[in-house]
Amino acid sequence: MIELIDVYKIYAEGGDSEVRAIDGINLKVSAGEFVAIVGPSGSGKSTCMNIIGCLDVPTSGTYILNGTDVSEMVDDEQAAIRNETLGFIFQQYNLLPKLSILENVELPLLYRGLPRGERRDRARIALETVGLMGREKHLPSQLSGGQQQRVSIARALAGDPKVILADEPTGALDSKTGREVMELIHKLHQAGNTIVFITHDPNLAGEAQRKVSFRDGQITSDEVLVRSTDI
């Protein structure tokens, strides 16, 4: 599903202030996998996630997503990939404050060009999955942090993506609501989604099937975890 081959991301290349954010990594994630990426800040895990999410392009190397080489694509082609193949869950939710919950969830479908009726239906189903039916008309600011993160999960779901990318999804939440959000992510995984998520919480990382550790732009360990609950 995801294949990074010899990928580098270097800022200010050749200059005095050269930063090797990603210093030659190879990573392969199969469909249906649940991968946690861990590492201290500045280790390159976020940059790696941005490249996987087609939000950033590698300085060199190849990125194959769902069988397509996306590292050579132009902006608008990448936009289409983001829209159809990827679903994002951000630490800061990143909801549009002036749009209602339903409109927020509809956004990826809007840019896909779906007709209004279909958008509404699919957004409602996604909101139902995250348990927020009945709040469609609310603005994000009228919801709690946990609820907002559930809206952003619904938004990632609505587009029916192949891969869900979550960058510290519980980072801004208290442990109880964080727990709820993690349960939801587990549910998505059980429903067959490929999930890649970043965390610095070792307990959360332990919930994944596989843990990839980053340090100084390189992958230092890649271990398969076996959990009794995970069958």
Name the site residues for another protein (rule: CB under 8 A): 50, 53, 55-56, 75-76, 79-80, 82-84, 88, 90, 94-96, 98, 107-108, 110-113, 155, 159
Residue 149 CB, nearest approach to another protein (Å): 14
112 vs 200, beta carbon nearer another protein: 112
18 vs 77, beta carbon nearer another protein: 77
112 vs 186, beta carbon nearer another protein: 112
How many CB atoms neighbour CB 215 within 10 A?
A: 15
Task: Pull the structure tokens for residue 43.
Answer: 């280790």
What's the CA gap between 137 and 125, in Å, rounded? 15
**Cβ(26)–Cβ(80) below 8 Å:** no
What's the CA gap between 39 and 41, in Å, rounded? 7
Residue 160 CB, nearest approach to another protein (Å): 13
75 vs 223, beta carbon nearer another protein: 75
123 vs 205, beta carbon nearer another protein: 123
Residue 157 CB, nearest approach to another protein (Å): 13
The position carrying tokens 């590698």 is: 58
Residue 112 CB, nearest approach to another protein (Å): 7
The contacts of residue 27 (CB under 8 Å, 6+ apart) are 2, 3, 4, 7, 48, 212, 219, 222
Residue 125 CB, nearest approach to another protein (Å): 18
140 vs 146, beta carbon nearer another protein: 140
Q: Interhelix angle for 75-85 vs 101-112, to 10°?
A: 120
How many CB atoms neighbour CB 210 within 10 A?
A: 17
Residue 96 CB, nearest approach to another protein (Å): 6
Q: Tell me how many helices (H) and strands (E) the chain has.
A: 7, 10
